[in-house]
């Protein structure tokens, strides 16, 4: 089974090897999900470059350990995982809170980050009031109480209509997350503000937003891109908060083009 214990935390992961000189790509999942959200992306990119997806602490089949108190807890796990695999430099692809984890790891260990793909995320997400309200509801009534509302921002109306089985499966994934990991990560996002740190990012960065994202709308993601020197901003059409599930082909096209642009002498697009 694909588990490894690092710093006292057992992490569930999936690693797909590849030959060639392309840098490894590490995928970081969003709040209330596990690494299966990347399955179609990994399938489409398989063989082109090494790929690593994992369940964040307190999510999926990974441990919660002593809990999550800040984004640093997730960054610690990611840092240890990168070292475990012996990667010198990686491309980090983070969705939502995963994008915040990527930003934090870069701030702490810029030497291991080749580039960043920040999908449907921001330098600061939500307000203390909004997060405290969510935490209180979930503590009182469980994740089930917010699940339908979350589905509305995760996916477009067309997804709800045309992919009812996939919607039900994603809803199950959310509601079956461990409550301590979910609440701890809510607290971590509530307390995170990477506005100043974003201005110091000095590696190629691609910021992506689903055009119908109700959680981190395109204008918010665009504001993150504006903070990062030279960052590229792209919109995925017909997608909500999780383009890797709703529009994996479009997302992969952007990632593939961006990574190709990292090669010496390659032309950049956008």
Q: Low-confidence residues of the chain, pLDDT below 70?
A: 1, 265-270
Q: What is the pLDDT of residue 216?
A: 98
- For residue 3, what pLDDT is reported? 98
Q: Is 52 left (phi over 0), alpha (psi -120 to 50) or beta?
A: beta
Residue-wise pLDDT for 88-141, tens only, equals: 999 999 999 999 999 999 999 999 999 999 999 999 999 999 999 999 999 999
Report the alpha-carbon distance of residue 212 to residue 237 in Å, rounded. Answer: 8
Q: Is 141 exposed, middle or buried (0-12, 13-18, 19+ CB in 10 A)?
A: exposed
The C-alpha atoms of residue 230 and residue 76 are separated, in whole angstroms, by 27
pLDDT of residue 32: 97
Res 267: pLDDT: 55
Classify domain 3-260 by CATH number.
3.40.50.1820
Q: What is the DSSP string of 96-119?
A: THHHHHHHHHHHH-GGGEEEEEEE
Domain boundaries, the chain: 3-260
CA distance 26 to 9: 18
Question: What pLDDT does residue 266 have?
Answer: 64
pLDDT at 217: 98
Q: For residue 239, give Cα distances in angstroms to 53, 243, 258.
A: 21, 5, 19
pLDDT for 264 equals 76
- CA dist 173 and 41 (Å) reads 18
Of 112, 129, 215, the residue nearest 104 (C-alpha): 112
pLDDT tens profile 203-224? 999 999 999 999 999 999 999 9
Question: In whole angstroms, what is the distance from residue 45 CA to residue 210 CA?
Answer: 20
Question: Given the DSSP bridges, would you call strands 90-95 and 25-28 parallel, antiparallel or unpaired?
Answer: parallel
Q: What is the pLDDT of residue 270?
A: 43
Burial (CB count within 10 angstroms: exposed 0-12, middle 13-18, buried 19+), residue 257: middle
Which H helix or E strand runs over 91?
A: strand 90-95
């Amino acid at each position: 089974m694909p588990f490894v214990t690092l710093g006292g935390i057992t992490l569930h992961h999936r690693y797909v090897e590849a030959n060639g000189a392309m840098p490894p790509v590490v995928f970081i999942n969003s709040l209330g999900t596990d690494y299966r959200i990347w399955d179609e992306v990994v399938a489409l990119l398989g063989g082109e470059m090494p790929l690593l997806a994992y369940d964040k602490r307190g999510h999926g089949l990974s441990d919660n350990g002593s809990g999550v108190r800040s984004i640093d807890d997730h960054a610690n796990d990611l840092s240890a995982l990168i070292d475990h695999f012996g990667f010198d430099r990686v491309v980090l692809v983070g969705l939502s809170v995963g994008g915040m984890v990527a930003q934090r790891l870069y701030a702490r260990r810029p030497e291991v980050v080749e580039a960043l793909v920040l999908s449907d995320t921001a330098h600061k997400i939500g307000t203390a009031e909004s997060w405290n309200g969510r935490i209180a509801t979930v503590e009182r009534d469980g994740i089930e109480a917010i699940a339908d509302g979350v589905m509305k921002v995760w996916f477009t109306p067309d997804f709800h209509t045309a992919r009812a089985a996939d919607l039900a499966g994603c809803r199950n994934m959310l509601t079956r997350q461990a409550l301590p990991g979910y609440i701890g990560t809510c607290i971590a996002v509530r307390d995170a503000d990477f506005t100043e740190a974003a201005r110091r990012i000095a590696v190629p960065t691609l910021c992506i937003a689903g055009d119908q994202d109700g959680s981190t709308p395109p204008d918010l993601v665009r504001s993150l891109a504006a903070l990062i020197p030279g960052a590229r901003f792209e919109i995925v059409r017909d997608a909500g908060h999780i383009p890797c599930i709703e529009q994996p082909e479009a997302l992969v096209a952007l990632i593939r083009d961006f990574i190709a642009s990292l090669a010496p002498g390659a032309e950049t697009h956008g």
